[in-house]
């Protein structure tokens, strides 16, 4: 093997190892605290929930909730998010585009958005500071932090998404 081929091979192997290392680092499991970039989740003061579940061929049950620490469901939901680990998808490094759904919805299909909000004591006017937003779009999980939205996965994702929806369904649906 010539010296030029050997140097080229070493450079290619180094680039492949660097790319693999980056992929492993980027998709490592993160806790809720790590995702929120230092914002204390324990200071969450409100959960804003919107959800829908398909009940018939074109009918859906709608839920719009605002939960505070006084609500028993607040701690139930927050603990589900705090106990979880999240893996960012490599697809985040590419453009996400918009959600679209071309498959027909079946009874029982659901989606939800949950926003964890806190209030900064320095904000005299009481405007909320959104800590994290979680979007479940029929099984696809996305997490919004500041100006970033990441596709993510969690261990046993289908069951976890259902567990969150089960808590939401404890409340009466609208309309």
Least Cα distance to 114 among 58, 155, 73, 147 occurs for 73
pLDDT tier, 124 (very low <50, low <70, confident <90, very high otherwise): very low
Determine, yes or no, domain membership for 145.
yes
* DSSP 8-class letter at 86: B
Token pair in block for residue 158: 């289908």
Lowest mean pLDDT among 5-9, 112-116, 126-130, 148-152: 126-130
* Same domain? 45 vs 24: no
* Same domain? 15 vs 46: no
Determine, yes or no, domain membership for 48.
yes
Determine, yes or no, domain membership for 175.
no
Token pair in block for residue 112: 């939800």
Q: How far apart are CA 155 and CA 135, in angstroms?
A: 16
> Mean pLDDT across the stretch 90-111?
68
Token pair in block for residue 20: 């693999």
pTM: 0.79
Q: Which residue has the higher pLDDT, 144 or 128?
A: 144
* Same domain? 21 vs 46: no
Burial degree of 41 (CB within 10 A; 0-12, 13-18, 19+): middle
Structural domain range at position 137: 31-168
pLDDT in tens, 28-72: 898 877 877 666 666 788 899 998 888 766 678 889 999 999 999
Determine, yes or no, domain membership for 173.
no
* Same domain? 52 vs 137: yes
Polymer length of the chain: 175
* Same domain? 16 vs 97: no
pLDDT tier, 161 (very low <50, low <70, confident <90, very high otherwise): very high
């Amino acid at each position: 093997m010539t010296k030029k081929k050997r140097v080229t091979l070493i450079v290619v192997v180094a680039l492949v190892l660097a790319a693999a290392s980056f992929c492993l680092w980027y998709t490592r499991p993160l806790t809720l605290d790590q995702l929120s970039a230092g914002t204390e989740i324990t200071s969450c003061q409100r959960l804003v929930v919107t959800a829908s579940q398909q009940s018939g061929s074109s009918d859906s049950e709608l839920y719009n909730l605002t939960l505070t620490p006084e609500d028993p469901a607040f701690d139930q939901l927050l603990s589900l998010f705090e106990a979880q680990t999240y893996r960012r998808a490599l697809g985040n490094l590419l453009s996400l585009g918009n959600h679209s759904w071309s498959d027909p919805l079946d009874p029982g299909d659901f989606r939800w958005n949950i926003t964890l909000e806190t209030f900064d004591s320095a904000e005299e006017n009481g405007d909320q500071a959104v800590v994290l937003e979680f979007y479940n779009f029929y099984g696809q999980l996305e997490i919004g932090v500041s100006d970033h939205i990441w596709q993510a996965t969690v261990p046993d994702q289908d069951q976890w998404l259902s567990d969150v929806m089960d808590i939401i369904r404890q409340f009466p649906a609208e309309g």
